[in-house]
């Protein structure tokens, strides 16, 4: 018998125009003075026009903060919090990719609790309460709308996280139409990111790895693997986009309860130091970490089972190790097929930087502890070198 906890976003609204259709519920939740956290690209592309227009029709004030950058900095979070305080906002909306949603989570937390931001880093350090919070993803990758995690870049390149059920939103609003304008490369990278969430959640050694999380991880992988190529090659295909968004959400629910591990731990220095997008960082390191993990019997069995779920007609009369190998190779082939770079050198990372990244990755202890195999700095260096 297993003992576990399971948390997720209390309200999920999915469908085309779901933000506009649920505007009165949204307004009732967040009040009349809304801090709308997003990025300039979203504003310039007009992706937020309908949402902002709808909010203005039912709210006293909509305060737009559109300065969120990829891998947002601590300074960006502090500026958004300052704007929220100055305007006396009653609730926060995070609208965009994972970066905007993560900034919105921390804004809602600090504005609601008046805690010191430096005191909330880590697992369950936040005390709360927070302001009402609504999250609206415009990419199918991070799953941040259903996770209790926010990742911020502190200093030059260190990724630091807040993990607490307090920053799960009141409502997640998912509109697949908002993802129709994503470029091919972004669609591919964020899609692989979501697949990594599912894979690591399924194989995590965290004591809270449980049957519900594994169920979500399996269903997420099925949706993502069967839709990602179409979403990349035919970006206006709403069915594929819907499946990607649902898959990303399900993967987010999975890893929110059964946390990710070494793929993410080793991806963070790639993004932090070289400003490589998070999804691509994961894709570059994924097969190499999985190959390292294969020496662990439990890990290879997990990868073999995932192979069976994804490709059941190709699983006859081959053993666990062969299935595990095929699973990893198919993932590497998929990344290449959808146009992602294969090696660290392809994105301009010099070989000599592998040592620095290996040392930086060791700081991600909250993630490394969930990996099927212990990873030393020497192991990390060899993984980076293999990925180079």
- Residue 141: both structure tokens together: 């990758």
Does 189 share its domain with 301?
Answer: yes
DSSP state of 369: T
The per-residue pLDDT for 126 is 96
| pLDDT digits 0-9 by tens, 47-81 | 999 999 999 999 999 999 999 999 899 999 999 99
Residue 1 belongs to some domain of the structure: no
DSSP state of 146: G
The per-residue pLDDT for 315 is 62
Strands of 103-157 (E only): list them.
122-123, 133-137, 149-154
The per-residue pLDDT for 316 is 67
Instruction: Answer whether 32's CB lies under 8 Å from 86's CB.
Output: no
> What's 372's domain CATH number?
1.20.1090.10
* Mean pLDDT rounded to a whole number for the chain: 95
pLDDT at 1 over 80: no
Does 133 share its domain with 209?
Answer: no
Residue 3 belongs to some domain of the structure: no
pTM score, whole prediction: 0.95
| pLDDT digits 0-9 by tens, 320-340 | 999 999 999 999 999 999 999
Instruction: Answer whether 171's CB lies under 8 Å from 134's CB.
Output: yes
> What is the residue range of 142's domain?
11-179
Q: What's the structural domain count of the chain? A: 2
Does 226 share its domain with 167?
Answer: no
* Closest among 72, 79, 124, 122 to 98, alpha carbons compared: 72
The per-residue pLDDT for 52 is 96
Which position has the token pair 């190529």?
A: 229
Residue 5 belongs to some domain of the structure: no
- Residue 203: both structure tokens together: 């194989």
Does 143 share its domain with 263?
Answer: no
Burial classification of residue 183, based on how many CB atoms lie within 10 Å of its CB (0-12 exposed, 13-18 middle, 19 or more buried): exposed
What is the pLDDT averaged over residues 329-356?
A: 97
What is the spatial distance between Cα 237 and Cα 349, in angstroms, rounded to a whole number?
A: 34
Domain boundary among 128, 161, 179: 179
The per-residue pLDDT for 181 is 83
Instruction: Answer whether 304's CB lies under 8 Å from 283's CB.
Output: no
Residue 244 belongs to some domain of the structure: yes
* DSSP bridge pairs for 4: none
What is the spatial distance between Cα 142 and Cα 57, in angstroms, rounded to a whole number?
A: 30
The per-residue pLDDT for 156 is 78
Does 190 share its domain with 164?
Answer: no
Does 155 share its domain with 290?
Answer: no
The dihedral of CA 134, 137, 142, 146: what is its sign? positive
Residue 76 belongs to some domain of the structure: yes
Residue 6 belongs to some domain of the structure: no
Does 359 share its domain with 221?
Answer: yes
- Which residues neighbour 227 within 8 Å (Cβ) at sequence distance 6 or greater? 239, 240, 243, 244, 247
> What's 133's domain CATH number?
3.40.50.1970
Domain boundary among 131, 152, 179: 179
Beta-strand pair 158-163/149-154: antiparallel
What is the spatial distance between Cα 134 and Cα 247, in angstroms, rounded to a whole number?
A: 20
Does 25 share its domain with 168?
Answer: yes
Contacts 24+ apart (CB under 8 A), 211-214: 211/2, 212/4, 212/6, 212/257, 213/6, 213/253, 213/254, 213/255, 213/257, 213/258, 214/254, 214/258
What is the spatial distance between Cα 384 and Cα 355, in angstroms, rounded to a whole number?
A: 8
Does 25 share its domain with 171?
Answer: yes
Residue 147 belongs to some domain of the structure: yes
* Closest among 114, 109, 267 to 192, alpha carbons compared: 267
| pLDDT digits 0-9 by tens, 282-329 | 999 999 999 999 999 999 999 999 999 999 887 666 889 999 999 999
| pLDDT digits 0-9 by tens, 74-108 | 999 999 999 999 999 999 999 999 999 999 999 99
* Closest among 63, 52, 53, 59 to 32, alpha carbons compared: 59
Does 59 share its domain with 124?
Answer: yes
- Which residues neighbour 49 within 8 Å (Cβ) at sequence distance 6 or greater? none
Angle, nearest 10°, between helix axes 377-387 and 262-274? Answer: 70
Q: No. of H helices and E strands in the chain?
A: 16, 9
Domain boundary among 155, 179, 203: 179
Does 200 share its domain with 332?
Answer: yes
Residue 97 belongs to some domain of the structure: yes
What is the spatial distance between Cα 236 and Cα 44, in angstroms, rounded to a whole number?
A: 20
What is the spatial distance between Cα 179 and Cα 187, in angstroms, rounded to a whole number?
A: 9
Does 229 share its domain with 372?
Answer: yes
* C-alpha distance from residue 101 to each of 136, 145, 336, 339 (Å): 8, 7, 29, 27
């Amino acid at each position: 018998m297993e003992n576990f906890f399971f948390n997720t976003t209390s309200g999920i609204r999915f469908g085309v125009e779901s933000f506009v259709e649920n505007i009165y519920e949204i307004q009732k939740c967040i009040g009349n003075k809304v801090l709308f956290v997003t990025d300039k690209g979203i504003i310039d592309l007009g992706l937020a026009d309908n949402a902002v227009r709808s909010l203005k029709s039912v709210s006293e004030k909509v305060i737009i903060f559109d300065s969120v950058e990829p891998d947002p900095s601590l300074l960006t979070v502090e500026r958004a919090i300052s704007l929220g305080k100055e305007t006396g906002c009653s609730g926060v909306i995070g609208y965009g990719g994972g970066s905007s949603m993560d900034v919105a989570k921390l804004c809602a937390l600090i504005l609601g609790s008046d805690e010191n931001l430096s005191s909330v880093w880590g697992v369950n350090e936040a005390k709360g309460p927070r302001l009402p919070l609504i999250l609206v993803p415009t990419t199918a990758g991070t799953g941040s709308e259903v996770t209790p995690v926010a990742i911020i870049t502190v200093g030059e390149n260190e990724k630091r996280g807040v993990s607490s059920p307090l920053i799960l939103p009141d409502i997640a609003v998912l509109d697949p139409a908002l993802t129709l304008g994503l470029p091919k490369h972004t669609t591919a990278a964020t899609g692989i990111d979501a697949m990594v969430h599912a894979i690591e959640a399924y194989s995590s050694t965290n004591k809270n790895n449980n049957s519900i999380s594994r169920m979500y991880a399996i269903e997420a992988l099925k949706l993502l693997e069967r839709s990602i190529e179409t979403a990349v090659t035919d970006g206006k295909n709403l069915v594929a986009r819907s499946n990607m968004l649902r898959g990303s959400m399900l993967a987010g629910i999975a890893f929110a309860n059964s946390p990710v591990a070494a793929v993410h731990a080793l991806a963070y220095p790639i993004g932090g130091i070289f400003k490589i997008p998070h999804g691509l960082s994961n894709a570059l390191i994924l097969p190499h970490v999985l190959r390292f993990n294969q020496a662990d019997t439990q890990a290879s069995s997990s990868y073999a089972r995932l192979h069976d779920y994804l490709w059941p007609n190709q699983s006859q009369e081959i053993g666990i190790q062969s299935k595990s190998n095929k699973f990893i190779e198919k993932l590497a082939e998929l990344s290449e097929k959808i146009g992602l770079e294969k090696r660290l050198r392809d994105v301009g990372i010099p070989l000599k930087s592998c040592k620095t990244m290996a040392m930086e990755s060791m700081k991600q202890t909250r993630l490394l502890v969930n990996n099927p195999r212990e990873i030393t700095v020497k192991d990390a260096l060899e993984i980076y070198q293999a990925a180079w």
